Chain A
Amino acid sequence: MSNIKKFLYLNRKAPYGSIYALESLEVVLIGAAFDQQVSLAFIDDGVFQLAKGQDTKSLGVKNFSPTFRALGDYGVTKLYVEQESLSERGLTAADLMPITYEDENDGFAEKPSINVVSRSELAGIMREQDVILSF
């Protein structure tokens, strides 16, 4: 497996109502071991996965949102969030969890992993991919 491909994980579903958001993240973590070029996209209800202040104690299920903050340690540093999807839902970037990574090519400077992009920018990003995994 010498060929390096561009993998995009496309997240369009809100967390907790179904398993897909959690299991998408599991695939991202496993996939990180394969040294591919990985990015995540959050559009439509997928943007709710990154909402600040998630607390699942009363549900008896695992709060997996802190895992997003660990993605940088796995070398996953590109999280694209669609501006239009945020706006449609009355959200701004300030409603999202801060997610950062340490850039080893820049003296381990802490940098934001979340990039808010327009729909047309995201469409362009999708077109650069080799594999798009949607759950």
Chain B
Amino acid sequence: MLGHELARSSRVRPALRKCRSSRGSTKVKLSILVNEGPYTHQASDSAYQFTKAALEKGHEIFRVFFYHDGVNNGTRLTVPPQDDRNVQKNWSELAEKHKLDLVVCIAAAQRRGILDEGEAKRHNKGEGSANIAPGFRISGLGQLIEAGIEADRLVVFGD
């Protein structure tokens, strides 16, 4: 039942060694898990603020993994009111600026209608129905395990 996820979890990033900054404080490699969608629970906002602060302090973010309703952070179709923050866009922009690896869980994404080109085609959802936001990619739960293995710390944000 879970074979497709295993198959997609094979992408392995080279492990980076811990390094020290010029100020001597230890740089740490972090992975982030986001379990809730935007706009209902604060988890995604907290995760974003935390990630931004960690990057500004010079730490490395190995991966941000979105699970459960957290996959809803990764749709390009959100249109929040102009006086509200755009959570999805914030993530996409942070990813572009810092070359972040934003991964949404494939099983959770499929349940909730978050598709990339390949998935949209595979499930015959029609032209243009891929809605994964820029900077995000869809992959298996193995990516979460790998994020736990490769990072020095895994920080979980959820409900």
Contact = CB atoms under 8 A, between A and B. Distances in A.
Interface in B5-36: 5-6, 9, 12, 15, 33, 35
B58 interface: no
A34 B68 contact: no
21 contacts: A1-B15, A1-B149, A1-B150, A5-B148, A5-B149, A7-B145, A7-B148, A20-B68, A26-B2, A27-B145, A30-B2, A30-B9, A30-B141, A30-B142, A30-B145, A33-B142, A34-B142, A34-B145, A131-B148, A131-B149, A134-B158
Which A-B residue pairs are the 7 nearest by beta carbons? A131-B148, A30-B141, A31-B145, A34-B145, A131-B154, A1-B149, A27-B141
Binding site of A, secondary structure by majority: helix, strand, loop or mixed? mixed
B31 to A, nearest CB: 9
A31 B142 CA distance: 7
A44 B79 CA distance: 39
B53 interface: no
Nearest to B13: A1
Interface of B: 2, 5-6, 9, 12, 15, 33, 35, 67-68, 107-108, 140-142, 144-146, 148-150, 154, 156, 158
Contact of B68 (A29, A33, A132, A135): A135
Contacts of A133: 33, 144, 148, 154, 156
Interface of A: 1, 3, 5, 7, 19-20, 23, 26-27, 29-31, 33-34, 36, 130-135
Given A3-B149, A30-B141, A135 B35 contact: yes
